[in-house]
Amino acid sequence: MKGAGFRMRTRGFNSRLKGFAGVLAMAAGLGCTSAAQATFYSFASDGNSSGFTVSGTAGSGSSFQISTQLVNSYTLLVDDSNGPVPTASIPNVGLVVDLVATHANSQVFIGSLWRHTYLVTGSFRFVDSGGNTLMTATFDAGTTGFFTLFGGQNSWSSTGAILGSDSLSNLRYSWTPALIAALGGAGAAAQLGIVGPNSVTPDDFSFDLTVLNPGTPTAGVQLNAQTKLPTTTWRAEGSFSGSSFVPAPGSAAIAGLAFAAATRRRRR
């Protein structure tokens, strides 16, 4: 009889174990399909014809600065990663860039064409017409983005890209109540994938720069032969795109469902 009782208890335990495993499998399967929600951001170049998108200083020491020549006006587009929610358009948005670039590598790419790469730290942010910050993108301490251009041995071509990604560094987007209000409130922002104060991995961005020039659009930016830093101030037009992620709204609920189901089974 003792042996029979033991077998019965074992069968009951195995049944509960299988049921618990099934609930976890269900939660894991659902979580894989709704683990994160993405948001896309973008603006087109030259939303305001009164100036260039970004400007830069001449090299000093081992670095140079990249900033906005003036706070231009753009229409910032916010989208639910090409999903069913209509793209939100926020007009009269300014871009404030505060980046520092440090030379990393210059080498022959092919033939006489060279590739110049710089490490980029700092942040950039978007502000509304009243100067209130809407959103900020920042590199975590100790990580960098990249500024990559082609050109001659001691010069830049007229195009380049400033970019960053969580696969290369730790990039974070931070949102403010001003952005939530501009999008129509917390509910509308959540539909677009903006929940909480900060994004999670993976995040990215890119500024595609054109007409890189030292003040004359037809002239190229020259580099110091030793440091590979620009010898003059410079400016460029640019467009922007980026993405951020947050946990999907259903992820926490699914985890809670699995835990509750397991608890009920354990009590039986």
For range 20-31, the mean pLDDT: 40
pLDDT in tens, 88-127: 999 999 999 999 999 999 999 999 999 999 999 999 999 9
Please report, for the chain, the start and end positions of each structural domain, with discontinuous segments joined by +. 1-35+249-268, 37-247
d(CA 99, CA 155): 21
Is-contact 220 205, C-beta < 8 A? Answer: no
* pLDDT above 80 for 49: no
In this prediction, what percent of the chain has a pLDDT beyond 70?
A: 78
In three-state form (DSSP H/G/I as H, E/B as E, the rest C), the secondary structure along 194-236 is CCCCECEEEEEEEEEEEEEECCCCCCCCEECCCCCCECCCEEE
CB 62 within 8 A of CB 227: yes
The residue behind tokens 């007409």 is: 211
206-235 tens-digit pLDDT? 999 999 999 988 889 999 999 999 999 999
pTM (2 d.p.)? 0.79
Cα–chain-centroid distance for residue 140? 12
Position 28 confidence tier, pLDDT thresholds 50, 70, 90: very low
